[in-house]
Amino acid sequence: MTERTELRRIPDRSVTDRDAIHAVLDEGLLAHVGLIAGGPAGGDAAHPVVIPMLYARDGERLYLHGSPASRLLRTAKKGAEVCVTVTLLDALVLARSGLHHSMNYRSVVVMGTAVEVTDADEKVAALDRIVDHTIPGRVAAVRPARESEVRATTVLVLPLDECSMKVRTGPPIDDDEDMDEDAWAGLIPIGVAVGEPVPDDDTGDDPVPDHVADWARGPGRANGRAV
Ligand X SMILES: Cc1cc2nc3c(=O)[nH]c(=O)nc-3n(C[C@H](O)[C@H](O)[C@H](O)COP(=O)(O)OP(=O)(O)OC[C@H]3O[C@@H](n4cnc5c(N)ncnc54)[C@H](O)[C@@H]3O)c2cc1C
Q: Looking at 60-68, 78-86, 106-114, 180-188, which segment touches ligand X (CB under 6 A)?
A: 60-68
- Least separation in angstroms between residue 29's CB and ligand X is 7
Distance CA 34, CA 111 (A): 9
C-beta atoms surrounding 191 within 10 Å: 18
Q: What are residue 112's phi and psi, to 5 degrees?
A: 155, -170
- Least separation in angstroms between residue 157's CB and ligand X is 14
52 scored as a contact of ligand X (CB under 6 A): yes
**What is the size of the binding site for ligand X (CB under 6 A)?**
12
Q: Looking at 61-69, 83-91, 111-119, 143-151, which segment touches ligand X (CB under 6 A)?
A: 61-69
**What DSSP state is assigned to residue 81?**
-
Determine the residue with CB nearest ligand X: 66
Q: Which is nearer to ligand X, 93 or 126 (CB)?
A: 126
> Which listed residue (54, 89, 185, 192) binds ligand X by CB under 6 A?
54
Q: Which is nearer to ligand X, 93 or 156 (CB)?
A: 156
Q: Which is nearer to ligand X, 55 or 105 (CB)?
A: 55
List, as one string, the DSSP characters of 196-210.
-----TTTTTPPPPH
Distance CA 13, CA 27 (A): 19
70 scored as a contact of ligand X (CB under 6 A): yes
Q: Which is nearer to ligand X, 132 or 174 (CB)?
A: 132
49 scored as a contact of ligand X (CB under 6 A): yes
71 scored as a contact of ligand X (CB under 6 A): yes
Residues 6+ apart with CB under 8 A from 60: 159, 160, 161
The kind and range of the H/E element at 157 are: strand 154-159
> Which listed residue (5, 15, 28, 65) binds ligand X by CB under 6 A?
65
**Which residue in 26, 34, 16, 10 sits closest to 102, CA to CA?**
10
30 scored as a contact of ligand X (CB under 6 A): yes
- What count of Cα atoms within 13 Å lies in the side-chain half-sphere of residue 209? 11
Q: Which is nearer to ligand X, 13 or 71 (CB)?
A: 71
The number of residues making up the chain comes to: 227
- Least separation in angstroms between residue 60's CB and ligand X is 20
Distance CA 212, CA 193 (A): 14
Q: Are 110 and 47 in contact (CB under 8 A)?
A: no
> Which listed residue (51, 190, 192, 194) binds ligand X by CB under 6 A?
51
Residues forming the site for ligand X (CB under 6 A): 30, 49, 51-54, 65-67, 70-72
